[in-house]
Chains A and B, each alone.
Chain A
């Protein structure tokens, strides 16, 4: 950090991002208006955050995102009674707590802390996580609504050469996804009585492209020292605001406002913390029941988060420097789904892989991230009930520690507050921060 910037930060101190607060309003409105939409005759579609929002909007469907719904319950510290209801009903504490919170919601007459949520007319899942498939089956059990899955195949990045043509496999997989999208279109037309308008879809993708461009700029801003926003505390707010408005003019306006705010903060030297001393990568989703508490424990020690793979993972389409090709919208849309998981080009979307996909490249990718964001260490947040995000962390820790990367493993849960032990988390953070302090000290001494 330059002397001048350090001085500015010391003067300005930490100021919360106004756009984080704005995200709350956006999400709240998204829920609050659901019944109005239903009463106005719009169809309600439950779809996961990476779902085909830009396509569904062509049918005037009102979108409800089950993950955001569960995350909101948790962030408002209301998830536990819902989860317990699901457990009383028969669900295991080892099931993803997003699912059990959602089940609890259904068992509570759909009374969500943000408003009354209407039941679905359609539910759509994709292949980001296999739990989505099970979750969709659970939703089907409760609501008997039609279900549609968009299946995008997962391909391993092999260490050896592929004995088949991986490019051909990619093209075939793409056609498979395109055909599913065509089936989905037909199903939506039938359900809503609205004919698919390719122009409208193109327009939504254009908004999507604008959002992508803005988002790529926004996440790059954490490369500044001090970072103008905290990847966890602010970043997840932005993601929620963005995901509830994908493919819309409001989404573009929101991200423009975020970008403007961040530019101003950079000019003023306003950091996410009063004095940025350490920059960390946060791997995985947050512990929503203690959404503020955990990052703040780091902030107190001058540590802030500059990156989380959810910047990419939680925001399909937006990670790509390549935009939707408006000349071939459906194909390009299919690519945005497929490129997540395809071993064809592991460095195309490397930054979000949390260790289950990229073979040895996963290690290299983490080291690249450390360099790119000038980070001092990595915090792996192992989420008890999320095997998708957490399953590879222990192995990554083994490999990255050998490369000399300071690593902290924290354990809690995404929505279940019972798996958070404040004393234990605090102790671990303290010990980790001591280690970073020492490292900094010896490095500074060695540099003299």
Chain B
């Protein structure tokens, strides 16, 4: 049986593979199988899975991709994930996709599917539109219809109908995978030395491109081994990280943070964990997914729902993780994240909880600055605590 270290290393290799080797292999193993790509934050993967379509999150190109063509087509002040996703398309790396679905979650993401459509011949593209006004009850019937439309879109890719019953079975599987991820997060909150944030990130990230069944096995394997891991607590501050709901920082960035502190909760890959409880497994599955998006989800900077404040959510996260501080670090040029950074900053100031503000970029390669900044921050907290 592979050790946790080995599993994590395998995930890291797969995540860094710009050729999407894992997915291409899956296609070889499943010659009739179709693959769809979606842009973050969230996509109801259950519907694709029920259609026998592999849902793959297209999360940009990380810090290994060179922007050879995208720069000519993209506005300079756009976030990196939009640019590198277009680069993936322009360089033919997404040719394995049978469908790409974007969402106009922000002004930058509005452009990206259209840019792909104009410049990546052969790639079938559509939009999933999430209701901008989640405060009203109207959001649910709207989203229910929207998910039905997405079902029709996926049926055209699959070449057959996708029945409610099959979606219900997929919902059960995804519930299980979400439960397992929540378990890992709970362990991190209780004993962060047993499973690191960067390891957890890679394990969750694997679920963004592998079939949920395989991901469930992988998570179970890891969970079974965690209690036996040899690791001892170290005197580090406990922090919650906020800002990576869409573009993802490089793993080295997370590792640089955790050299200094325990990252006991975060919003990495938020889309995979957006639904924070089980989706009901009986009844109309698309309606259940729609209700869950509105009423059982974490906050993200691109969901607009003033029934609750985003800073309430973050504060609750910090309290339940017994964090001493928060790191507010949106992606560069990510306007929704940057705006929320101020919202959180002011709230945390009022609550007397220290916060560190920084920015990241998926393309960054030098992490000394991140380490130094975090060290200075942590030292100040430890100094005052003593």
Contact = CB atoms under 8 A, between A and B. Distances in A.
B137 to A, nearest CB: 9
- B77, B78, B102, B155: most-surrounded residue (chain A CB, <10 A): B77
B194 interface: no
Interface string A399-421: 10000000000000000000000
B133 A149 contact: yes
Interface string B99-132: 0001011111011011101110000111101011
Contact of A387 (B107, B117, B332, B341): B107
B231 interface: no
Closest 8 CB pairs of A and B: A163-B156, A391-B111, A151-B132, A387-B107, A149-B133, A388-B107, A90-B342, A164-B152
A43 to B, nearest CB: 19
A129 B107 CA distance: 6
26 contacts: A90-B346, A90-B357, A95-B339, A130-B302, A137-B340, A138-B339, A141-B346, A149-B132, A149-B304, A154-B110, A156-B102, A156-B113, A156-B126, A160-B124, A163-B155, A172-B145, A179-B138, A180-B133, A180-B138, A356-B110, A359-B118, A388-B110, A391-B110, A394-B73, A394-B74, A394-B75
B336 A130 contact: yes
B333 interface: yes
Contacts of B304: 133, 136-137, 149
Contacts of A148: 133
B133 A395 contact: no
Contacts of A197: none
Interface residues of B, number: 55
B132 A127 contact: yes
A91 B343 CA distance: 10
A368 interface: no
Contacts of B155: 163
Given A138-B339, A355-B111, A180 B125 contact: no
Contact of B77 (A147, A149, A384): A384
Given A91-B342, A94-B332, A164 B125 contact: no
Contacts of A130: 104-107, 110, 302, 336
A155 interface: yes
A131 B118 contact: no
Interface string A130-160: 1101101110110000011111011110111
B73 A387 contact: no
Nearest to A147: B306
B335 interface: yes
A92 interface: yes
B338 interface: yes
Given A155-B127, A180-B136, A356 B111 contact: yes
B118 A360 contact: yes
- A90, A183, A382, A399: most-surrounded residue (chain B CB, <10 A): A90
Contact of B117 (A131, A159, A164): A159
Given A359-B117, A387-B77, A398-B73, A163 B152 contact: yes
A39 B129 CA distance: 42
Nearest to A179: B138
Interface in A249-301: none
Interface residues of A, number: 61
Contacts of A355: 111, 114
B125 A156 contact: yes
A246 to B, nearest CB: 22
B224 interface: no
Interface in B336-364: 336, 338-343, 345-346, 357
A358 B114 CA distance: 7
Interface in A345-387: 355-360, 362-363, 382, 384-387
Contacts of A156: 102, 113-114, 117, 125-127
Contacts of A153: 129
A357 B119 CA distance: 14
A326 to B, nearest CB: 25
Contacts of B149: 164, 169
Contacts of A134: 301, 335-336, 339-340
B367 interface: no
Contacts of B336: 130, 134
A81 interface: no
B78 A176 contact: no
A357 B343 contact: no
A358 B117 CA distance: 9
B342 A89 contact: yes
A382 B75 contact: yes
A113 interface: no
A96 B107 CA distance: 11
A250 to B, nearest CB: 31
A90 B342 CA distance: 6
B142 interface: yes
A258 B192 CA distance: 68
- B74, B75, B136: most-surrounded residue (chain A CB, <10 A): B75
Contacts of B129: 153-155
A13 interface: no
A243 to B, nearest CB: 21
Nearest to B150: A164
A138 B131 CA distance: 19
Given A357-B114, A399-B118, A387 B78 contact: yes
Contacts of A99: 339
Contacts of B302: 130
B131 A151 contact: yes
Interface string A163-179: 11000010010001001
B335 A387 contact: yes
A393 interface: yes
- B74, B111, B346: most-surrounded residue (chain A CB, <10 A): B111
Contacts of B156: 163
